Chain A
Amino acid sequence: MKKVVSVLLVLITVVVLSACGKKTADNEITFGWWGTSDRNVATYRAIELFEEKYPQYKVKGEQSTWNGYQQALNNKLNRGTEADVFQVNYNWIYSMYGKDYFMDITELGIDLSKYPTDEHKPLTVDGKVLGLSVSETGYIFYLNQKVYEDAGVSFEGDRIIPETWEELMVAGETIQAHNSSHYALGRLDAQQVAILMFSYLAQKTGKNVINENNQLNFTQAELVDGFNFISDLRSTGVLIPSNAIDTHIDGPTNPNWTQQKYGGILQWNTAISEYQNTLPSDANLVMAGMFQQASGESLGMYKKVSMAYAVSKRVEGSKEKQEAVKTFIEFMTTDPEAVAILGVDRGVSSNTDTQTALKAVSDADYSNSLEWKGHEVVQSMYNHQLEESINLYIHPYYEHNTFRAIYEGPIESFLLNNINATEAASRIISKFNAELKRIMED
């Protein structure tokens, strides 16, 4: 019987330990990503096509929802069980110690010459390019034109969509007068209000929220001005007067959005489809860019790499695997058929070959999509700002999980009307620099 016990123990140990560690054959590629069902379907179709074109390789897809992806990836990296190629957010290159876990993609020989010169600069640490940019993104206003038209909003000529903050506030007042439960925008959460306020302050001061010395770039007075501006948006029917009167935590499924009581949203141009898909068929979501201090200006656009493909450092150990991974990544980003299948669901790539392939797709007008229109505005505004010597590239730690609370916490309290503008500004200033320094050194 002792033997039976011993055999059982060995078997159980083998079963338990076999779950640990992950080594696939050199012609097998694992690919991990997050996404909604549309992205999942498109990605699997592209993988099938890849396996048809390159029968010597096998690809195993590891799909996930956005919720939980980062946590799972953190765990996998700790245990060394991450996929060979996986989707990452740009800031994870830093917060996840990418230089220890991600391979330098230039060693794979991937051609980066079709991207703008600085595209991969934010993904480069110690001279190593730790991710291939899939797309860039910026926060853009999208408006539901039906809400505006129903309220009879009109500006110069036939133009319905406002261009300046002042026009937006006029629209808010008109919409409120038409129906007191309708708003020009509606509910924005603390993350959205933060970027709105920092965009507004950037327009007025020309400053990025975090300077080159990794410190808060705005003064107390400037922040108070930003908060007072948010108050103005609330008192003119642009934003709801208090976030306590709408406690939904998921924007796209918020009934006030789906029932067209809210007239707009501030969202990454790469993620607007989530909001578009939940609107009824009579809605007409249009890209409104970034509202300005005065007509004709083009300022206040922050941007960043939306997402990147990272390669596990494990791949460095095999030339055959490197070749397989390189072939797969190039296929996913530049093969005309694959590009046509994947569309703009991961945003619009800055790779000129990819853009050409997307424009050539006959059965889908990608260049007329909200994502593409947003992409063009983000790029043109950002480049215009550079000409004015204003650089609003998003700092890699701006969206760090714990650091965000430093500015989003006071903004949330302000949106709930629990603190005033001065107190909110003071609370941001009191911990901003110290906490940013701590997480950057961590």
Chain B
Amino acid sequence: MVGEKKWVPYVLLIPWLVGFIVFKVYPFISAFVMSLYEKRGRISTFVGLKNFKLIMDTSTYLGEEFVNSLKVTFIYVFVTVPLILIVSLLVAYLLSLKMKGVGFFRTAFYMPTVLGANVAVIILWRYIFEYNGLINSGLKLLGISPISFLGTAGGAMMSVVLLRVWQFGSTMLIFLNALVNVPETLYEAATIDGAGKFKQFMKVTIPMITPIILFNGVMRLVEAFQVFNGPMLITNGGPEGSTNVLNKLIYDIAFKGGDLNVGSAMSWVLFVIIMVFTVLIFRSSKYWVHYQD
């Protein structure tokens, strides 16, 4: 009887396992295999690393686009991730203070995350940043000339970054949980030692939550490298390719253009980049992450 019960967890795992194999492992491996082939009509030919060389060759349009997308993706990631960490940590800190009505604010700040980057939200975002949108209507009332947010490279990038930063709810909640778990005794000791609120935050709070900063940082980094919805629906990668992030280019090449082989090669480059950065962050963590044990 006891022996039979050992099977139960495995049976319960089957739905997840099947999903994981079918939708994760299989596409992951088959994408790599496809990246080594060239398909013309029904005929697939093994071409080794040709697709990888093709996307790295900046003398071609494809290579130029790929390098531009890499640049755009890096800008997006290295602006978005620090911003989202800073904003969510600061808001979490404010919400961790014992204030009246804090429950309302916790819910309010989490709402954008519930809404997500869905089509309705993105359309709303466009209405905010359009040339004759909400912000420019406000500026007009103040007598300020309108700004073409979506018509300039910097403005378009800013609008897609802000969309993601606006959805800081999950990151904030994780920070909030970490902040309330910092032992009160540490703050009491710091107060006795004469540390003010800012010093307590920098010398007590931050070091105590570094494992959570690491977790949030890695999660947001991986997620940011895979951004798609915002640049696709707000700017369609424009203007002039300034928000044409790598996932959008992969989508265009693989699905709109029908070249799954080159698209797969690009996906694998993206995977390697994410892996390298994740490993680097974990390697660096021994210098700045403090575990209580």
Contact = CB atoms under 8 A, between A and B. Distances in A.
Is chain B found bound to chain A in the same assembly? yes
B191 interface: no
Interface string B247-258: 000001101111
B185 to A, nearest CB: 51
Contacts of B257: 95, 400-402
A431 B61 contact: yes
B211 interface: no
A201 B43 CA distance: 40
Given A16-B22, A247-B130, A247-B148, A413 B11 contact: no
Interface in B1-46: 4, 7, 10-11, 14-15, 18, 22, 40-43
Given A245-B148, A438-B60, A412 B255 contact: no
Nearest to A95: B258
B62 A5 contact: no
B78 to A, nearest CB: 24
B240 A409 contact: yes
Contact of B236 (A9, A12, A249): A249
Given A100-B41, A416-B151, A12 B256 contact: no
A382 to B, nearest CB: 29
Contact of A418 (B41, B65, B240, B252): B240
B258 A412 contact: no
Nearest to A247: B150
Interface stretch (A44-52, A69-77, A297-305, A314-322): A69-77
Nearest to B146: A245
Interface in B42-76: 42-43, 60-62, 65
A5 B7 contact: yes
A74 B258 contact: yes
Given A401-B252, A409-B240, A418-B240, A434 B259 contact: no
Contacts of B217: none
B241 interface: yes
B236 to A, nearest CB: 6
Contact of B252 (A12, A244, A246, A402): A402
A5 B14 CA distance: 8
B240 A70 contact: no
A5 B18 contact: no
A248 interface: yes
Given A255-B132, A405-B65, A412 B239 contact: yes
Nearest to A410: B240
Nearest to A17: B22
B166 interface: no
A438 to B, nearest CB: 7
A25 interface: no
Contact of A97 (B41, B132, B238, B240): B41
A302 to B, nearest CB: 23
A9 B239 contact: no
B255 A74 contact: yes
Contact of B11 (A8, A101, A245, A401): A8
Nearest to A248: B130
Contacts of B11: 1, 4-5, 8
Given A71-B256, A96-B258, A244 B14 contact: no
Contacts of B239: 244, 247, 412, 416
B260 interface: yes
A7 to B, nearest CB: 11
Nearest to A8: B14
Interface string A74-101: 1100100000000000000001110111
B284 interface: no
Nearest to A73: B258
Contacts of B238: 412
Interface string A415-432: 010100000000000010
Most interface-central of A95, A247, A416, A418 (chain B CB within 10 A): A247
B152 interface: yes
B246 to A, nearest CB: 15
A247 B152 CA distance: 10
B93 interface: no
A400 B62 CA distance: 13
A243 interface: yes
B253 A402 contact: yes
Contacts of A402: 61-62, 65, 252-253, 257
A9 B21 CA distance: 12
A435 interface: yes
A30 interface: no
A432 to B, nearest CB: 10
A69 to B, nearest CB: 10
B7 to A, nearest CB: 4
A246 B60 contact: no
Contacts of B253: 402
Given A4-B7, A96-B258, A244-B151, 19 more contacts: A1-B11, A5-B7, A5-B10, A5-B14, A8-B11, A12-B14, A16-B22, A74-B256, A97-B41, A242-B151, A245-B146, A246-B131, A247-B131, A248-B130, A402-B62, A402-B65, A402-B253, A416-B152, A416-B239
26 contacts: A5-B10, A8-B11, A12-B14, A12-B15, A16-B22, A74-B256, A78-B260, A101-B41, A243-B151, A244-B148, A245-B131, A245-B148, A246-B132, A247-B148, A247-B149, A248-B130, A400-B257, A402-B61, A405-B65, A406-B61, A412-B238, A412-B239, A434-B60, A435-B60, A438-B60, A442-B259
Which 3 A-B pairs rank lowest in CB-CB distance, beginning with the nearest?
A: A244-B151, A100-B41, A97-B41
